[in-house]
Amino acid sequence: MDVTRDTPLTDFPGVGEARAKKLEKLGLTSAGDLLTWYPRDYEDRRRIYGIQEAPLEGRVCVAAMAAEHPRLSRIRKGLELVQVRVVDNTGALHLTFFNQSYVERAIRAGEEYIFFGAVEVQGRRRTMVNPIFERADRQSFTGCIMPVYRLTAGISNHLLAALVRQALPCAEGLPETLPQHVRQARRLAAAEFSVKNIHFPEDEEALDLARRRLVFEELFYLAVGLSFLKDRRDREGAGLPVPPQPAEEFLSLLPFTPTGAQRRVMDEVAADMADSRRPMNRLVQGDVGSGKTAVAACAGWLCAKGGCQGALMAPTEVLAGQHYKSLSALLASSGVRVGLLTGSMTAAEKKKTRAALAAGEIDFVVGTHALISEGVAFHKLALIVADEQHRFGVAQRAALAAKSGEEVTPHVLVMSATPIPRTLALMIYGDLDVSVIDQLPPGRTPISTYVVREDKRQRMYNFVRKQVAEGRQAYIICPAVEENPDAALPGEESPALNLKAVKTYAEKLQREVFPDLRLGILHGKMKPREKETAMAAFASGQTQVLVATTVVEVGVDVPNASLIIIENADRFGLSQLHQLRGRVGRGQHPSHCVLITGTRSLEAMERLHTLASTTDGFKISEEDLRVRGPGDFFGNRQHGLPQMKLADLAGDMRLLSEAQEAARELLAEDPRLTAPENRPVWERVRRLFADTPDIFN
Ligand code: ADP
Ligand code: MG
């Protein structure tokens, strides 16, 4: 078959209508698509063993000859066995294939094969179940480093690898998309070499070279695109200057004296917004409980005083509701009108709020993502605050600016408890300033954290009772069972939540353990009104114990709560546990966090003890990054950047800086990429940012 990059997959032998459909689900329709379907992992199948020397660990390749004709037997309906004995000069190996009757014909007595599978010892026999095999004189998936692909039902890794193999010849003479000097200066491998070796690397070194080039390439296009976005922002010019106000006036509204760190950040924000040359673009990093809300309130207040509007976006409805309540209460006496807009409000309510926003009758609106996704029109929007929403980056700001069709770009304030490495922050948020709230409000007693086993359950319940008797409140957190990590962003309610687990647990607690206490329940599948009621009941102290899922993870603030119990704590990531723990220790009372676990894994225990030994969010986040990799935070496209195929934004930090530097150099020479040799770059960037087409205007 002569393959070009446009050859449809239906032309490939063995790909019928049905398989083509399934491949299409993965976004694969042509040979060219296969080339960029990069492996997610590799399996080293280079070493070929004799039968006796083959290790009994993991899957390995064994070379052997079929000593007999395979025997097919039907055990019962739906269960067929093929068995065959294979030999070499060291011994015999007994193979069993389940429900693969074709093997009876595929293996011939007297022929040599390579079998890939796990060798086991049963009695005195060496055995292998369901190995992959091929003839020793026609090796293509053994004796090599084998790619492991992301799959879909009905498409095996073997099939996909075979298709990629057949498609690889069309990488021949693949046009170079990276400018020559960029590639040379950084000693990056050629396109053709890289594509071939990312799929079927000759050795580790070739794989490293291939990966380095392809990751660099991705990051390079990303950097160029982001640079266009930033450029656009600069050309759009200024934000609405918000005149400074006497700080004392705002501070007198607060029920507490702000910390020095809060004061400093408030001043920085005020100065940014007063600057008429360019809009604010500031990231405020502060650990859980450091008091970021007060900074947001200050920014909103300044805006309102200056006759403009501000918007605060929260990641969950629960948090939006809470911010709405506390901000209305805080700002009411100063005449600032606060509004609420969330996706689950009734159509009539939404309509009313939208009209009020358009008419300028609301000064500071609090909402969820609905605020930008539903194209809300503002009267005079000057400020966007994104609370705990890491995805609000350059791309979102551009989308928003495009939507509002305004001449001005809003000031942006992003607030996060997650320490984001600076290079990455710069990348995601563009040219940005960072403020750090590195001080906790005074009078906080550190939270004591305990890791406990099931056998302490009764004592723990007694502890809940004791806290409640002292007038305090407690959270009991259950993990959502069967959570699908792709279905929801962290901080959002998980749709696949197993309701029954939480509900039955809460009912059981009420009935059998705490018949005399007032228990509440809160989970993602409740109606927004029910959630609101549950949250309000807990905030006011009406319910004493709140049994909840991770919907309370970020931001929720009930200072009287002094105890949080986390069930199955080993199922959570460290940063997530830290966020959850941050729900207590928000007032004057000594607070406690109890991590319950039944895990047998030493590593999991070690992680939990790390959390117990420190309350430093930066340390915890570093540790989390080390053991779990960045997937937790960056894996879900929280940042809103285009999807990367190979690059790992946090893990490939060095290459990221290099790619940024290369992008800067290129754009310095050819800002609009109009030179013919730079057209391929322009093309690729355009495709990468297809969701944000307006950046190329
Ligand atoms: P986070 O940074 O996690 O968003 P919050 O803004 O929710 O923190 O503040 C946590 C709690 O601390 C709230 O109850 C808030 O009222 C209180 N708080 C914030 N700043 C101070 C302060 N300077 N002094 C005393 N309490 C404060
Ligand atoms: Mg907060």
Domain containing residue 133: CATH number: 2.40.50.140
* Residue of the CA atom closest to atom 18 of ligand 1: 291
Same domain, 432 and 301: yes
- Residue 212 included in any domain: yes
Same domain, 602 and 566: yes
- Residue 595 included in any domain: yes
Query: Ligand 1: does its nearest atom lie under 6 Å from the Cβ of 262?
Result: yes
* Domain C-terminal end among 437, 467, 484: 437
Query: Ligand 1: does its nearest atom lie under 6 Å from the Cβ of 559?
Result: yes
Task: Give the number of whichever ligand sits closest to the CA of residue 438.
Answer: 1
Same domain, 342 and 431: yes
- Residue 30 included in any domain: no
**Residue 392 CA to ligand 1 centre (angstroms):** 23
Report residue 311 CA to chain centroid gap. 25
- Residue 632 included in any domain: no
Spatial separation of the C-alpha atoms in residues 494 and 485, rounded to whole Å:
8
pLDDT band at 179 (very low <50, low <70, confident <90, very high): confident
> Going by C-beta distance under 8 Å and a sequence separation of 6 or more, which residues neighbour residue 401?
233, 236, 409, 410
Query: Ligand 1: does its nearest atom lie under 6 Å from the Cβ of 286?
Result: yes
Same domain, 224 and 273: no
Retrieve residue 446's tokens.
Answer: 């550190």
Q: Which atom of ligand 1 is nearest to the CA of 293?
A: 6
Helices (H) and strands (E) in the chain, counts: 24, 24
Same domain, 557 and 674: no
**Phi, psi torsion values for 283, nearest 5 degrees:** -105, 125
Which of 256-265, 410-419, 555-564 has the highest mean predicted lDDT (pLDDT)?
256-265
**Span 146-155, pLDDT tens digits:** 998 888 888 8
**In testing the pocket of ligand 1, which one of 323, 557, 588 has its CB within 8 Å of the most ligand atoms?**
557
**Residue 246 CA to ligand 2 centre (angstroms):** 25
Query: Ligand 1: does its nearest atom lie under 6 Å from the Cβ of 579?
Result: no
Spatial separation of the C-alpha atoms in residues 296 and 327, rounded to whole Å:
9
Indicate the number of domains in the chain.
Answer: 4
pLDDT of residue 262: 97
Spatial separation of the C-alpha atoms in residues 568 and 479, rounded to whole Å:
7
Instruction: Please count the other Cβ atoms lying within 10 Å of the Cβ belonging to residue 77.
Output: 6
**Residue 439 CA to ligand 1 centre (angstroms):** 11
359 pLDDT higher than 60: yes
- Residue 199 included in any domain: yes
Q: Which domain, by its residues, includes 115?
A: 47-143
Instruction: Please count the other Cβ atoms lying within 10 Å of the Cβ belonging to residue 657.
Output: 15
* Residue of the CA atom closest to atom 16 of ligand 1: 291
pLDDT of residue 395: 62
Instruction: Please count the other Cβ atoms lying within 10 Å of the Cβ belonging to residue 449.
Output: 22
**In testing the pocket of ligand 1, which one of 288, 293, 388, 553 has its CB within 8 Å of the most ligand atoms?**
293
**Residue 136 CA to ligand 1 centre (angstroms):** 69
Burial class of residue 255 in the structure, from the number of CB atoms within 10 Å of its CB (0-12 exposed, 13-18 middle, 19+ buried)? exposed
Same domain, 357 and 382: yes
C-beta of residue 141 within 8 angstroms of C-beta of residue 121: no
Query: Ligand 1: does its nearest atom lie under 6 Å from the Cβ of 258?
Result: yes
pLDDT of residue 497: 36
- Residue 351 included in any domain: yes
* Domain C-terminal end among 143, 173, 205: 143
* Residue of the CA atom closest to atom 26 of ligand 1: 441
* Residue of the CA atom closest to atom 20 of ligand 1: 291
Query: Ligand 1: does its nearest atom lie under 6 Å from the Cβ of 621?
Result: no
Same domain, 488 and 453: yes
Same domain, 428 and 469: no
| CATH number of the domain bearing residue 536 | 3.40.50.300
Query: Ligand 1: does its nearest atom lie under 6 Å from the Cβ of 256?
Result: yes
**Span 622-641, pLDDT tens digits:** 676 666 554 444 433 444 56
Task: Give the number of whichever ligand sits closest to the CA of residue 256.
Answer: 1
Which of 11-25, 59-73, 309-323, 423-437 has the highest mean predicted lDDT (pLDDT)?
59-73
- Residue 328 included in any domain: yes
Spatial separation of the C-alpha atoms in residues 445 and 366, rounded to whole Å:
31
Long-range contacts, stretch 200-205, CB < 8 angstroms, 24+ apart: 200/144, 200/145, 200/147, 200/164, 200/165, 200/168, 201/42, 201/145, 202/145, 203/145, 204/145
> Which helix (H) or strand (E) covers residue 121, if one does?
strand 120-122
Spatial separation of the C-alpha atoms in residues 90 and 73, rounded to whole Å:
28
**Phi, psi torsion values for 133, nearest 5 degrees:** -145, 160
Q: Which atom of ligand 1 is nearest to the CA of 326?
A: 16
**Span 84-128, pLDDT tens digits:** 999 999 999 999 999 888 999 999 999 999 999 999 999 889 999
Query: Ligand 1: does its nearest atom lie under 6 Å from the Cβ of 389?
Result: no
Retrieve residue 294's tokens.
Answer: 């007060």
Same domain, 91 and 120: yes
pLDDT of residue 676: 87
* Domain C-terminal end among 614, 640, 674: 614
Same domain, 421 and 473: no
Same domain, 505 and 427: no
Same domain, 386 and 254: yes
Q: Which atom of ligand 1 is nearest to the CA of 287?
A: 2
- Residue 33 included in any domain: no
- H helix intervals, 360-388: 370-373
**Residue 561 CA to ligand 1 centre (angstroms):** 14
Residue with tokens 């200050």: 298
Percentage of the chain lying above the pLDDT 90 cut: 40
